[in-house]
Amino acid sequence: MSIKIKLAKYFARKIYKKTLKWSQNPIETQKKVFQNLIHQAQKTDFGQDHKFGKIKNFEDFAKHVPIRDYEALKPYVDKVVNGEKNILWKGKPLYFAKTSGTTSGAKYIPLTKASMPTHIKAARNAILSYIHETGNADFVDGKMIFLQGSPVLEEKNGIKLGRLSGIVAHFVPKYLQKNRLPSWETNCIEDWETKVNAVVEETFNENMTVISGIPSWVQMYFEKLHQKAQKPVGELFKNFNLFIYGGVNYEPYRAKFENLIGRKVDSIELFPASEGFFAYQDSQSEKGMLLLLNAGIFYEFVKADAFFTENPKRYTIGEVELDTNYVLIISTNAGLWGYNIGDTIQFTSLKPYRIIVSGRIKHYISAFGEHVIGKEVECALQEAMEDTNISINEFTVAPQINPASGLPYHEWCIEFENEPENLDNFALQIDKAMRKQNVYYDDLIVGNVLRTLIISKVNKNGFQNYMKSIGKLGGQNKIPRLSNDRNIVDKLEKIQ
């Protein structure tokens, strides 16, 4: 056993004990985080505007601080971007994580001296948690790859900015740098296709043991490896046994991945975002990811079906229930307050608090009142694919409100790797599963408001071509699982 493996197991035990301590005292842990956040931000512009000096408890906070999205918080963020101090958090941020916005263009999410370490620790602790549970630490002696954005940073009024994954690349611990791929030069390549080709060349003859990234983009890397090697990735990288991912549900990709790899590998799911690192998978046997209650983030939860009503009830960690769809609201040591990140979650466990990401509050289909969310379409597709050799590369769903003939329907645009023998029968299987997932959808089918869903096949690399056409190929960009309009599916049809 190498010294690296011994040290990894030692630190894994330490982190496990620390995690156990706060996860067994969730309400008290969140109370301390809340009090610290309010205390630290009292003298900021935001804190003074919202009477932080008078806030004694969560009820006071909810009274003085409304729920906001980026557009509503933007007047404060603009001051920070312009170089002003003590606006949302003490001093100035260390970085801005730059993300694509909607109506406001680019979004600048602050990363502070207090918040930046939580991103790094969470990613590290996810791996250490896996080591403690499984006893598997051999991979630390091999090479690890993290498919991410370019670490080249811009600067705005003295504050560096870039993609979160590119910023994090500057914080790779020294003990990992020799094991980490791709090289700095390759990581700096902006064009995604060029970058993946370079990553293939750099890693092809290496002892790869850990591979990490968003599944859709790792899939592209695996396909290029498979094409070059003419054998499964698992044969090329014989010691590859751990896949780390985040951003999207892995299940729709699992069959394709196992085919490309040639065998099953363990996986760890992460829930990182520019706004904070919220959760990671702490168990290979339990469903969901451990919600990080001690990481400088105070959480609130609003039931998704009440979110767009006036003054919806805001729940804290001690009030949540299992299997309820909540909009995730955060207040952080980066200066985001009552902030709606747009994700919806469900709790799979309350001891400890584990969650799954169920979708986006803006990514849903309710053209007919069906309230379909991302988790439901993913589960329905997974159920229909069980015990078959069908595999898919990507998919998205949208309503067809005005068909040329017949009743309206949901259109599923699917890029198959292995197609079903009977497409209509496969559509019926998905529809059957959807009706079990969503009672409103079932009512609409029974009531002849909707007809059975229709599958539209997307050509090979169709989704990649779509992402390329809108300038979002690679890195941290993801295809929405579903939309309440036809913008994506109409563009897919045009580039076919």
d(CA 30, CA 37): 11
Give the model's pLDDT for residue 476. 63
Question: What average pLDDT does range 379-393 have in this prediction?
Answer: 92
Fold of domain 374-495: GMP Synthetase; Chain A, domain 3 (3.30.300)
Q: Which two tokens stand for residue 309?
A: 């009503």
Pairing of strands 95-100, 143-146: unpaired
- Most confident option among 179-183, 372-376, 424-428, 483-487: 424-428
Whether residue 323 contacts residue 304, with contact meaning beta carbons closer than 8 Å, is answered with: no
Residue ranges per structural domain of the chain: 1-361, 374-495
d(CA 388, CA 495): 30
Instruction: Tell me the pLDDT tens digit for each residue of 329-366.
Output: 999 999 999 999 988 999 999 999 999 998 888 777 87
Q: Which two tokens stand for residue 454?
A: 């229709």
Instruction: Tell me the pLDDT tens digit for each residue of 220-269.
Output: 899 999 999 999 999 999 999 999 998 777 877 788 899 999 999 999 99
CATH of region 1-361: 3.40.50
DSSP letter, residue 138: G
Give the model's pLDDT for residue 369. 75
DSSP 3-state assignment of 455? strand
DSSP letter, residue 419: -
Give the model's pLDDT for residue 100. 64
End-to-end CA distance of the chain: 53
Give the model's pLDDT for residue 103. 45
DSSP letter, residue 482: B
How many Cβ atoms from other residues are within 10 Å of residue 280's Cβ? 24
Sheet of strand 95-100, all strands in order from the earlier edge strand to the far edge: 106-111, 95-100, 159-162, 154-156
> Which stretch of 60-64, 100-104, 221-225, 412-416 has the lowest confidence by average pLDDT?
100-104
Say what the pTM is: 0.81
Output the DSSP codes for 17-76: HHHHHHHTSHHHHHHHHHHHHHHHTTTSHHHHHTTGGG--SHHHHHHHS--B-HHHHHHH
- What mean pLDDT value characterizes the chain? 91
Could you tell me what percent of the chain has a pLDDT over 90? 66
Q: Which two tokens stand for residue 440?
A: 């409103």
How many Cβ atoms from other residues are within 10 Å of residue 459's Cβ? 12
d(CA 295, CA 307): 25
- Most confident option among 173-182, 252-261, 379-388: 379-388
Could you tell me the pLDDT band of residue 178, with boundaries at 50, 70 and 90? confident
d(CA 260, CA 198): 19
